[in-house]
Structure 1
Amino acid sequence: MRIEALTHLGAGRASDGTLVPRTLPGEEIALRPDGSAQILTPSDQRVAPPCRHYRGCGGCALQHASDPFVAGFKQGIVERALSAHGLTPPFRGLHTSPPRSRRRAKFAGRRTKKGALVGFHARGSDTLVAVPDCQLVTPRLTAALPMLEALTVLAASRRGEVALTVTESDAGLDVRVDSEQPLTDQLRLDLAVFAQTHGLARLSWGEDPIAMIHPPGQVFGPARVVPPAGAFLQATAEGEAALRDAVTEILGDAARVVDLFAGCGTFSLPLSQRAEIHAVEGEAAMLDALDQGWRRAQGLKRITTEVRDLFRRPLEPDELNRFDAAVIDPPRAGAEAQVATLARSSIQTIAMVSCNPVTFGRDVAVLVNAGFTIDWVKVVDQFRWSPHTELVARVTRG
């Protein structure tokens, strides 16, 4: 059969509708009994996967495609999401984070007869694949795999898996364990000793802090913030910088800015070097981390914070009218309710950041129908070799 196109999840679609992973448009293929593709006529965009684990691991989906092809594929996802609403804005050059740059990863761990196995699941399977030479995560996270195996022996039940979320910080690794095993007093003590022995900055059991040897800081502009365990963080430092620089350019010399879905201050803190910021977020712990980071920094303008569920209680036009500009970075569900009130406000400039082109298209169409213009869109590929796509857009009234 012939592959005609890729779905938004990166799977090849044949002319009869069959979906075949790890194929490319234009390729002639034959299906093996296990459903994998034998490539009969390869695309000129096909390359040798850079990671030796790619065949078995499900962590990446597009290592068989050239970088220019993947860049075009991801921008095409955004273009199609916007064209569904009749929108065809100009695009700026795409940013792609380099290999071995993911500073945060969620590994799975399972106990074995000889110890433990830590890695990623195979595609569409509960089979666990060890990834000692992963080309996606930073070398620091790869070097932590033996430590995570030892932690799995301690934290996993005999038959269940543990989820191990590991984040680089300026003070060492920040590790969160999610396990079905009960947290007994003895296990709590053992985990605290483990954190000390292995030099972890922080070890948490779910949202329950076990040990914090050194506060695990993240630098946002001139401020250092210690986020709550598991709090949102941009996937790569390079991707964060691309988004931050674009947002800073969009807001220009605005003197009063509202940061909607502010998190721990990814944008608020850098922007406060030249503007007063009102940061709004639904999680109090994240805003507390932002506020403490702001108070410890020097030379920043005033930041106020507000804990508020923007899905159920968005800022109303009279509240928004106090500001010159807004930055909005919602989760994948988008910000339908908040965008509706932005459309009725007097705000002139909006920096829209999104991790879901479909909900971005829906939301930005509301603004365009209210008289806004999409000046430009920039795609930011922090999740290299995956179909996941992020973007930032400059949206102005009139």
Structure 2
Amino acid sequence: MNERLTITALGHEGDGIAETATGRIFVPFTLPGETIEADIGGERGQLIEVIEPSPDRIAAACRHFGVCGGCAVQHMAPAAYREWKRGLVTDAFAQRGIEVGVEPLVPLAPHTRRRAVFTVLKDHDGIALGFNRRDSHDVLKIEECPLLVPAIEKRLPELTLLAGAITERGKRARMTATSTDTGLDVSIDGGRKLGRRDFESLGQSAEGGPVARLTVGGNEVFASRVPELRTGTLVMYPAAGGFLQAAAPSEASLGDLVEASIGKVGPVVDLFSGIGTFTLRLARRFPVLAVEGDGELLKALDRSMRYSTGIRQVTTRKRDLFLNPMSPPELKPYKAVVFDPPRAGAKAQCEMLAKSTVPTIVAVSCNPATLARDARILIDGGYRLTRVTPVDQFLWSSHVEVVAAFEKG
């Protein structure tokens, strides 16, 4: 059923919201203040025509926008976009009864995402490497992506051919491609079982090519060059297919905020440390204990420690902080704690932190909702929230990174 609607707000997923006599209608690719015509089905609408556009409406940056399931708000002007993302953080904290002055969003430019996760499907039509179509499990073969660094975007045809040599017809696979200082680090899961001839041919094709390392199903096929990420005297070695901050400029902003919040006190414990994004930066000034549950990430951190210079003592500890969080007595020797958990947050660990005497806590999160929940736990335990800063790392999406600083008493 077609209906004319007025969009009054933008939802947390980036869909426009229209208030009607029968309830809210969510319409993608619309903006507040617009009059539109949409095909309505339940509480969802499909945009047919923008009758009166918002002054904040701009042309999309990508030919795949609206079909690709990745970006949600390429049609929004930068100033309105930044304020909307900041509002996502403000609203998440307000829902937990936390009134805080959220700082302006730290912006991110296009062509800065150094890590991409593609879906690969080989069928009778050929090889499709790309992302899921919007509201579908079908694979959209992409020809461009203004999110990606040129080192990945320009290599899409070569990555497609590589995926085709490894994947099995009719089955999906996942390719993670990371741009490093020494070349692309490519990991494929769900590919076919490789034989000796595959290893030989793939290894021979690697000479002088853009791929520094190829890993298939957790097994290293070749490493013509060691993938490295260098920042001054620090060097990080990413784990194949493992977690890494998606955009280098955002990682730098997060690191600056963490260091500024900690100030001049140490030693520091870095919880959910990963490959050492914050550990290594902090170790330039303080001894650091890095705690992480993923053994492969800790191996990568250990190598990074050995090849980085100008850092103080770093101690690593493998530990599942969801099942076995660090207790107040264990935390007592430390002057500051940094934690950067997965999207689920760090509820159990924050319950322990709330009972501790650690003077400074800095939380980094990609999920404002779980961060606000964890902040509520810390505040109820006697901590004071001093600063909240959103950092854009997932351009044109509803996802946003946040750094929050707390002081005891």
Which residues of structure 1 form unaligned runs of 5+?
A: none
**What is the CA-CA distance between 1:32 and the residue it aligns to?**
4.3
Moved more, 286-295 or 220-229: 220-229
Number of residue-to-residue matches in the alignment: 398
Q: Does 1:28 align with 2:39?
A: no
Partner of 1:319: 330
1:215-247 Cα shifts (integer Å, max 9, x gaps): 101235632122220111111111001100000
Partner of 2:343: 332
2:203 counterpart letter in structure 1: A
Q: Is the 8 Å Cα contact of residues 90 and 102 (structure 2) preserved in structure 1?
A: no
**2:181 aligned to 156, 163, 170, which one?**
170
Partner of 1:209: 220
Q: Is the 8 Å Cα contact of residues 222 and 270 (structure 1) preserved in structure 2?
A: no
**What is the CA-CA distance between 1:160 and the residue it aligns to?**
1.9
Change beyond 3 A, Cα 1:340–1:149: same
SS of 1:288 mapped into structure 2: helix
1:281-303 Cα shifts (integer Å, max 9, x gaps): 00122122212221222221110
SS of 1:392 mapped into structure 2: strand
Q: Is the 8 Å Cα contact of residues 86 and 104 (structure 2) preserved in structure 1?
A: no
Partner of 1:59: 70
**1:7 aligned to 7, 11, 16, which one?**
11
SS of 1:168 mapped into structure 2: strand
TM-score norm. by structure 2 comes to 0.93
TM-score norm. by structure 1 comes to 0.95
SS of 1:17 mapped into structure 2: strand
Mapped to 2, the partners of 1:31 and 1:297 lie a distance apart of 56
1:321 counterpart letter in structure 2: K
Q: Is the 8 Å Cα contact of residues 317 and 342 (structure 1) preserved in structure 2?
A: yes
Mapped to 2, the partners of 1:86 and 1:100 lie a distance apart of 37
Stretches of 4+ moved more than 6 A in 1? Answer: none
Mapped to 1, the partners of 2:244 and 2:48 lie a distance apart of 36
Mapped to 2, the partners of 1:87 and 1:220 lie a distance apart of 36
1:56 counterpart letter in structure 2: V
Which residues of structure 2 form unaligned runs of 5+?
A: none
SS of 1:96 mapped into structure 2: coil
Listed as ranges, the matches of 1:218-367 within 5 Å are 218-219=229-230, 222-367=233-378
Change beyond 3 A, Cα 1:114–1:19: closer
Q: Is the 8 Å Cα contact of residues 355 and 391 (structure 1) preserved in structure 2?
A: yes
Root mean square deviation, CA, Å? 1.8
Partner of 1:105: 116
SS of 2:59 mapped into structure 1: coil
Q: Is the 8 Å Cα contact of residues 174 and 188 (structure 2) preserved in structure 1?
A: yes
1:9 counterpart letter in structure 2: E
Moved more, 34-43 or 137-146: 34-43
Q: Is the 8 Å Cα contact of residues 247 and 351 (structure 1) preserved in structure 2?
A: yes
Q: Is the 8 Å Cα contact of residues 221 and 270 (structure 1) preserved in structure 2?
A: no
